[in-house]
Amino acid sequence: MPGRPGPPDGVLAERAQDGDTSAFETLVLRHQDTVFRVALRTLGDRDEAADAAQEALVTAWRRLPTLRDADRFRPWLLRIAARSALDAARARTPEHPLPEGAEVADPGAGPAGRAVGSGLRQALDRALTDLPPPQRICWILREMEGLGYEEIADVVDATPTAVRGRIHRARTRLVEALEPWR
C-alpha cells in the first residue's frame, strides 16, 4: 500500500536480505494490513487471521534469502500470506468449518457504522464469501488492495489472462448477488 514514506520496497527488501531487521520492520508495518486482510478474507475469523498473518510475515523473513527480485517483494509476500491462510483453512477440523456471516460480514465497523449502513456493504461481504476462493482473492487484491494484474498473477500463481477472467467472473457474480440493492 502506498502512503507510508520511506525507501521503496525493493531497497528495503535488499537491506533486509542483508540481515537489516529495521528495514524488515518497515516492510512489516507497510504491508501488515494487506497481509491481515488477505488472511481475514480467506479465514473469516480475526484471531485465526492474525495468527496466519504473523506466520506469513515470519515465513517471509526466513525465506527472504530466496527472493530473487527484491522489487517483487509485495506480490511475493502476499503469495506467502495467501498460502499461509489457505493452509490454516485446510487444517481446520471438520467440527469447526469456515465460519459464515458475522465476522466476515463486518469485521471493521462498530455498532454505529452498522446502524447507519445501508446493508450494501454487508451484502457485498456475504456475496464475497459465496465466491470460489480463487475468484474472491483476485477480486479483493484488484479492487480492495489496488494490485495490478501482473502482481495478482504472481500472488495466485496464474497467468494475468486467467486473473483477468477470474475478476470478470467475480464481478458478474457480485453484481448478480447485489441486484436487490440496485
Q: Is 113 in the site for another protein (CB under 8 A)?
A: yes
Q: What single string gives the DSSP state of each residue in 102-119?
A: HHHH-SS--HHHHHH--S
Q: Is 98 in the site for another protein (CB under 8 A)?
A: no
Cell numbers describing residue 48: 485465526
The answer for 146, left when phi > 0, alpha when psi is -120 to 50, beta otherwise, is left
Q: Is 88 in the site for another protein (CB under 8 A)?
A: no
Q: Is 151 in the site for another protein (CB under 8 A)?
A: no
User: How many other C-beta atoms can be found within 10 angstroms of the C-beta atom of residue 16?
Assistant: 25
**Contact pick of 13, 43, 88, 147 for another protein (by CB under 8 A):** 13
Q: Is 67 in the site for another protein (CB under 8 A)?
A: no
State the Cα–Cα distance between residues 180 and 123, nearest whole angstrom. 10
| Shortest distance (Å) from residue 115 CB to another protein | 13
**Contact pick of 43, 77, 88, 137 for another protein (by CB under 8 A):** 137
| Shortest distance (Å) from residue 182 CB to another protein | 5
